Amino acid sequence: MAVELSIIVPIYNEEEQIPCLLTDLIRQQQVEFELLLVDGGSRDGGLACANERREQLPYPLRIIEAEKGRGRQLNTGATAASADWLLFLHVDSRFDDPLALRKGMDRLSANGTDCAGHFSLRFRRSQHGAEFGYYFHEWKARLGRPECIHGDQGMLLRRDLFDRVGPFRTDLPVMEDTDFAERLRQQHGWLLLPEQISTSARRFEREGFKQRQFVSALIMNFRNADWIDFFSGDHPVYLSHTESGRLQLLPFLQQVRQRLSRQSPADRRELWARSGHYVRSHAWQLFFFLDAKRAFRRGRGPGQGRLFWLRLLEPGFTLLTDNPLGRALATILLRIWFWWTCLIVRWRERRDVSV
């Protein structure tokens, strides 16, 4: 029987996660699918494990080699896929519902619109702490607003739609999925699928929740500003999970300052202006924070609370700030915040080293 869905998973040194993924997908029912593991040059035993289990799986497993880089690996997988439906999935993603894939495809087909689907996100954690932080992001992932859709939510779409919107960018070492999601959102739209997908919180737990969020904010801002120079710095902005550890923020801030110093004054002003506009456009998260905090304290699940403050305050804030004066003020405040943050981070990290 021909497969109707190709699941594309980029991997790099994922010996621990591959067996779990293979087993989890066995549970999926009423859908004929193939799994494409697109390897970027792994040096561990993950591929050997996958090959050993290949004959035991009820679905076809294909292992494809590609140049390292998630964008390149995802594009390679899409090119090699056999089915009319594509699901771009992270290796540490799992589905609670054995009919998640079937329901997702049926929901998109019945919707009658030319859009893609993403699943409701939940983090799997092995450590306590930052409970509200995870809750905040689980709910935000359900909103469908700009830059709220990422690869850890799964991306389910028809091949012809991918051909029109894609491919994934290969000049970004990270956030290539967010970039693709934004292009698709602007051209067609996303549908939130009610089935839940869980993803490991391993990177947050290893690098530090606040530290990873801070660096991710820098990455998303400079991706939006198309400042590729930031991503080619001496300090990698994103390492594989096997290479990463507790993040030190000072090297990232110094990298920004060094790269900025090499630009002309006009280019620096333009970059700061773009960044100020970007930050202003995402200030709605401050109001959403109030709603999420209230719902969290009341024990409601992500997405189950009211968006009272967001709906009350955002229109007025937009009216007052979405203009040249408001954007200029946001740029000034951002520059002040950046330089102040550099001072604070430098002091804290030097203090920690001395201790």
Q: Do 157 and 30 share a structural domain?
A: yes
**What band does 174 get if pLDDT is binned at 50, 70 and 90?**
confident
pLDDT of residue 180: 96
* DSSP-H helix ranges across 194-307: 202-207, 209-224, 250-261, 265-281, 284-297
CB 249 within 8 A of CB 349: yes
Percentage above 70 pLDDT, the chain: 95
Mean pLDDT on 111-127: 90
**What band does 353 get if pLDDT is binned at 50, 70 and 90?**
low
Last residue of a domain, one of 200, 233, 256: 200
Provide the residue count of the chain: 355
Q: Do 83 and 217 share a structural domain?
A: no
CB-based burial label for 300 (10 Å; 0-12, 13-18, 19+): middle
Last residue of a domain, one of 151, 183, 200: 200
Q: Do 161 and 117 share a structural domain?
A: yes
User: What pTM was computed for the model?
Assistant: 0.91
On whether residue 314 sits in a domain, the answer given is no
On whether residue 180 sits in a domain, the answer given is yes
Write the pLDDT tens digit of every residue in 261-319: 888 999 999 999 999 999 999 999 999 999 999 999 999 999 999 999 999 999 999 99
- Domain range spanning residue 57? 5-200
Domain containing residue 152: CATH number: 3.90.550.10
Q: Do 236 and 103 share a structural domain?
A: no
Q: Do 227 and 112 share a structural domain?
A: no
Q: Do 133 and 214 share a structural domain?
A: no
Last residue of a domain, one of 200, 227, 251: 200
Whether residue 193 is predicted with pLDDT greater than 80 in this model: the reply is: yes
**What band does 247 get if pLDDT is binned at 50, 70 and 90?**
confident
Q: Do 214 and 187 share a structural domain?
A: no
Peptide bond connecting 265 to the previous residue in cis, omega within 30 degrees of 0: no
Q: Do 247 and 196 share a structural domain?
A: no
CB 77 within 8 A of CB 92: no
Q: Do 214 and 188 share a structural domain?
A: no
Residues 6+ apart with CB under 8 A from 65: 38, 39, 41
On whether residue 83 sits in a domain, the answer given is yes
Residues 6+ apart with CB under 8 A from 161: 114, 115, 116, 184, 188
As for how many domains the chain has, the answer is 2
Q: Do 190 and 246 share a structural domain?
A: no
Instruction: Note every long-range contact of 162-168, with CB atoms under 8 Å and residues 24 or more positions apart, other chains counting.
Output: 162/78, 162/86, 166/75, 166/78, 167/71, 167/74, 167/75, 167/78, 168/70, 168/71, 168/72, 168/74, 168/75
